[in-house]
Structure 1
Amino acid sequence: MGRRPGEFGSNWWARRWLEVLESFGWRSRLQRGRSYARQGNVLQMEIGPGRVEARVQGSRPSPYKVRIQIEPLDAARWAKVIETMSGQAVFAARLLAEEMPPGLEEVFAAAGVDLFPSRAGDLTTSCSCPDWANPCKHIAAVYYLLGQEFDRDPFLLLRLRGRNREEIISALRSRWADGAGAAPEEPTGDQPQQHGGQPAGEPTEREVLPSEPQDFWAPGPVLEQVRPHLAPPEVDLALLKQLGQPSWWKGKPDFLSIMSEYYREVTRQTLQLAFRPSWEPPGDEP
């Protein structure tokens, strides 16, 4: 039984994939391919780094073999992409949470590479059918079904460009861990140092304590200007998902499932407390 596309285009990256292909002047061909794909004529499809291989049933008894190739990004360009991704906290958090954030195409562009093919020549295709047109309806059907697969799993788009989900998340976690564990800069020169990193012999500023004892516990004018900002997190459980599953946890259910319940409950109660009309310290019921 062939693979029939379901609801298509619910996500931006799937729509963008077809928009790019249509910009090459393939609109009518892609429409024929869509009809072919919806009939279930794409029998099998495999996506790997830089390649897509498929079997498409045509008018002959044996299905045609379709191959689509796009140059995957090399290690140096992927390193630049990962560096650019990790420099945007919310963006990296969404990827670590296995979500595809808006603006991914712009991140690739900032790293000097293209996420999607920029011209028709970026795609090398072949089909065993006798039709000399490129794309033929069999290739076009695979193009269309690719969009559906990207809709279902956006990391397949990145796999086509050379990195799978695990490699990307592992690289982001590694950069996050390196950044979190970076050592402070060492003092330069031959100056002797005293406790706190201050050069020895230099006077330090001392905070003047309140002259009135009753003011000691008061917040003071500086703290009165502090206005905390509380809002639901932009990415659900971002910190937990950044940390991943601890290697030492052997219990069931898994660590993330247990901690997720606590994190969500703490978030719920914190927001509930923060947005109450008035707050009273907890005490015993009368």
Structure 2
Amino acid sequence: MPVGPDGWFEAARPIRVEGGIRARSKRGTIGEQWWSRRFVDILERVCDPGRLSRGRAYARRGQVLDLDLGPGLAKARVQGSRPEPYDVRVRITAYGADEWAGLTAALGAQALHRAKLLAGEMPPEVEQVFDACGLPLFPGERGLDMDCSCPDWGFPCKHLSAVLYLLAEAFDEDPFLVLAWRGMARDTLLDALRHIGGQGGGHGHGEQVAGGPDPGEPGDGGATPGLLDVADVPFAGRLGDFYEPGVPAARLGPPADPGSPPDLLLRALDPPPVKARHIPLLDLLRPAYRRFAAEEDEAAG
């Protein structure tokens, strides 16, 4: 039996798998989006290059039979050269309810971050929000606890490496899996962000005192007003500051990038309590914004 470069006896080839999870990438590195590349960069800094290379080959060959990700744990089965598949576990710290309450409040406090997350995007600034809360989004060099049931003494083995690369591709498809691994499900987070946005975004944890007045209404007992809350002042009393913005520019965050959805501004601003024929105003405006953007694209083309 030949001896591999890692000093362990290895069979010539693994048992071929039908219907395994096959990496989409056929050559080169794995991971296209910024969040998956961040994860792969960490792996390539701490893992043996030879084993990572063999792990990529396993991932592209479809040797991973299944992959399941939950709070703090990713588990998989990988078919090697022996009849029984190997069990792989990759663990990170999943944050608790109190930690996620602070993170959700910090994310919701940034109007554009909140809007992009609600649109299914993962802005790079999200990582900075996590760091500011002292809770890293990605595991550091010692933040991954990994094990495999194979007899390879090397770390990580090619079976672990294959799973890590497939995790990176899964993150490519759905960035919210990164957050789910940290303990926050996509729907739960988006519901919390909508709750914060619906209350004007001014409450530290997106909570409203039961029985209290609506934060968007005048006389709300000192609650921070929403972006659309404007005091009713006679025009004669506004001549001096009529052309000044109603809210600080910092609350609006950085300018949107060209690839942002055409209705991003509607998602960033707090929804006004206005309906037409029982339909919320924003639901009526969104199609118009999208039509304007489509007409502009056609004119540019």
- Given the two structures, how large is their TM-score scaled by the length of structure 1? 0.69
Secondary structure of residue in 1 paired with 2:178: helix
Aligned-partner Cα distance in 2 for 1:168–1:31: 36
Contact 2:47/2:155, CA 8 A, preserved across alignment: no
Task: Report which of the two has the higher share of helix.
Answer: 1
Aligned-partner Cα distance in 2 for 1:154–1:97: 12
Structure 2 match to 1:216: none
Q: Where in structure 2 are the equivalents of 1:1-286 lying within 5 Å?
A: 1-7=19-25, 8-120=30-142, 122-179=143-200, 181-182=214-215, 184=219, 186=221, 207=236, 234-238=260-264, 239=266, 260-265=286-291
Contact 2:75/2:89, CA 8 A, preserved across alignment: yes
Secondary structure of residue in 2 paired with 1:179: coil
Aligned-partner Cα distance in 1 for 2:135–2:71: 16
Query: What residue identity is the alignment partner of 2:187?
Result: E
Contact 1:84/1:110, CA 8 A, preserved across alignment: no
Query: What residue identity is the alignment partner of 1:144?
Result: Y
Q: From the superposition, tell whether residues 206 and 18 of structure 1 become closer, same or farther in structure 2 (CA, over 3 Å).
A: closer
Aligned-partner Cα distance in 1 for 2:294–2:170: 35
Secondary structure of residue in 2 paired with 1:114: coil
Q: From the superposition, tell whether residues 59 and 259 of structure 1 become closer, same or farther in structure 2 (CA, over 3 Å).
A: farther
Coordinate RMSD, CA, aligned: 3.7
Q: Percent same amino acid among aligned pairs?
A: 40
Aligned-partner Cα distance in 1 for 2:139–2:124: 18
Contact 1:97/1:241, CA 8 A, preserved across alignment: no
Contact 1:96/1:241, CA 8 A, preserved across alignment: no
- Given the two structures, how large is their TM-score scaled by the length of structure 2? 0.66
Number of equivalent positions: 231
Larger Rg: 1
Query: Unpaired runs of 5+ in structure 1?
Result: 188-195, 198-203, 209-219, 245-255, 273-286
